[in-house]
Chain A
Amino acid sequence: MSTPAAQLENIHKTYHMGDEPIRALNGFSTTFDAGSFWAIMGPSGCGKSTLLNVLGCLDRPDQGRYQIDGRDTAALTDDALSEIRLKYLGFIFQSFNLIAQLTVAENIELPLYYLGWHPERARKRATELAQEVGLAGRLQHRPYQLSGGQQQRVAIARALANDPVLLLADEPTGNLDSATGVEIMEMICALNQSGKTVIMVTHEPEVAAQAKHRLVMRDGRIERTEARA
Chain B
Amino acid sequence: MKNNRLLRNIRLGIKTLLLHKLRSLLTMLGVVFGVGSVIAMLAVGEGASREALEQIRRLGSHNIIIDGPRPDGDEDGQRGERSRLLIYGLHYADLDRLLEGFPDIARAVPVKLIQREGRIGAQAMQLRMVGTTPDWFELVERPMLDGRPLSGLDLERKANVAVLTEHAARRLFAAARAGLGSQIRIGGTSFTIVGIVQSESAAAGGMQTPDRNTDLYIPITTAQERFGDLQEHRSGGSRSREQVQLNQIIVEIGALEAVEPNAVAIASMLARVHRRPSAYRVNVPLALLRQAEATRRNFNIVLGAIAGISLLVGGIGIMNIMLASVTERTREIGVRRAIGAKQRQIVYQFLIETIVLSTTGGIIGVAIGMLIPWVISRTVAMPTYVTPISVVLALGVSMMVGIIFGIYPAIRAARLDPIEALRHE
Contact = CB atoms under 8 A, between A and B. Distances in A.
Contacts of A84: 340
A85 B345 contact: no
B335 A99 contact: yes
Interface in A81-139: 82-87, 89, 91, 93, 97, 99-102, 110-111, 113-116, 118-119
Contacts of A87: 340
Interface in B299-345: 331-332, 334-345
A140 to B, nearest CB: 13
Contact of B339 (A59, A78, A101, A114): A114
B19 A93 contact: no
Contact of A86 (B5, B12, B16, B339): B339
B4 A85 contact: no
A67 B116 CA distance: 110
A117 B345 CA distance: 15
Contacts of A162: 340
A97 to B, nearest CB: 5
B327 to A, nearest CB: 15
A87 to B, nearest CB: 7
A79 B422 CA distance: 18
B171 interface: no
Contacts of A91: 338-339
A53 B419 contact: yes
Contacts of A111: 339-340
Interface residues of A, number: 30
B331 A101 contact: no
Contacts of A83: 340, 342
Contact of B345 (A114, A118, A119, A158): A114
B21 interface: no
A82 B345 CA distance: 11
Interface string B1-43: 1001100100010011001000000000000000000000000
Given A58-B419, A119-B4, A101 B340 contact: no
A56 interface: yes
29 contacts: A58-B337, A58-B419, A58-B422, A59-B419, A82-B337, A82-B340, A82-B343, A83-B340, A85-B337, A85-B339, A85-B340, A86-B339, A86-B340, A86-B341, A87-B340, A89-B340, A93-B335, A93-B422, A97-B335, A97-B338, A97-B422, A101-B12, A102-B12, A110-B336, A111-B339, A114-B341, A115-B340, A119-B4, A119-B8
Interface of B: 1, 4-5, 8, 12, 15-16, 19, 331-332, 334-345, 418-419, 422
Top 3 closest A-B pairs, CB basis? Answer: A86-B340, A85-B340, A82-B342
